[in-house]
Amino acid sequence: MAPSGSPAVPLAVLVLLLWGAPWTHGRRSNVRVITDENWRELLEGDWMIEFYAPWCPACQNLQPEWESFAEWGEDLEVNVAKVDVTEQPGLSGRFIITALPTIYHCKDGEFRRYQGPRTKKDFINFISDKEWKSIEPVSSWFGPGSVLMSSMSALFQLSMWIRACHNYFIEDLGLPVWGSYTVFALATLFSGLLLGLCMIFVADCLCPSKRRRPQPYPYPSKKLLSESAQPLKKVEEEQEADEEDVSEEETERKEGTNKDFPQNAIRQRSLGPSLATDKS
């Protein structure tokens, strides 16, 4: 007959195994988790980063190979990491993740996209044989640390925030879908007006407009008066000259008539007696 205390032994062993399973699993996993807060650690050293989503079947199939590859990370002097795009939308926008899973290799800030087979052996050969040197690195314009990609990350985070607010309005507050859209439309309108006012204020501060003082009535200057008086003087002088010419002509005519008058009188006198004798 078995002792009464024997069933407690396997039960205790089972409890220890269940309690130690997550600890051993966490200890065995060498994959580092990258978030928006610590992503700049990728800019130093040698890294292999996987972008995945929990609902993606291809990502689920890759996980065992990725975990096995991470066990070789210390020997290969490479850091193996992963990013959950559902939890870190900013990083998915920063690296322009359009397909899942996506794997990047990073060496001292230079990012290259891995597009080879997805097995542990291929990952090990990619690092040990330095096959990454044959891949063109991502341009600095599209690097995760550039201004362009930082803006893209902010847009992705904004889109996720808008989606969370939309779900909150519908599920928690009970608003209809059109009511949620109305709220976002009004928020967009007011934010646009506020942004426009801010831009006008900044432009006015940087390039202030010149205030024009009201100009007095333009009185003519002395120079203009003298210039305008010159043609008048010329006209007056011409008129005076014409009057002098006319007066000279009149005086000449008068003198001519005065000279002719005594000659005519003399002629008449001389002709007078002769006409008298002829009549007689």
**33, 75 Cβ separation under 8 angstroms:** no
Q: Where are the beta strands (DSSP E) in the chain?
A: 32-33, 46-52, 79-84, 102-107, 110-114
3-class DSSP assignment, residue 179: helix
Residues 6+ apart with CB under 8 A from 135: 105, 112, 113, 114
Q: How does 19-28 read in b/e, with b if 16+ C-beta sit within 10 Å?
A: eeeeeeeeee
Torsion of CA 35, 40, 41, 43, to 10 degrees: 140
**Which residue bears the tokens 């966490």?**
26
For the chain, count helices (H), then strands (E): 8, 5
Q: Which of 56, 106, 165, 205 is catalytic?
A: 56
Nearest to 49 by CA among 25, 71, 66: 66
Does a cis peptide bond (omega within 30 degrees of 0) precede residue 101?
Answer: yes
Gyration radius of the chain over CA positions:
55
**86, 53 Cβ separation under 8 angstroms:** yes
Residues 6+ apart with CB under 8 A from 53: 59, 84, 85, 86, 100
* 56 in catalytic set: yes
* 207 in catalytic set: no
Half-sphere exposure of 212 (CA within 13 A, CB side): 3
User: Known catalytic residues?
Assistant: 56, 59
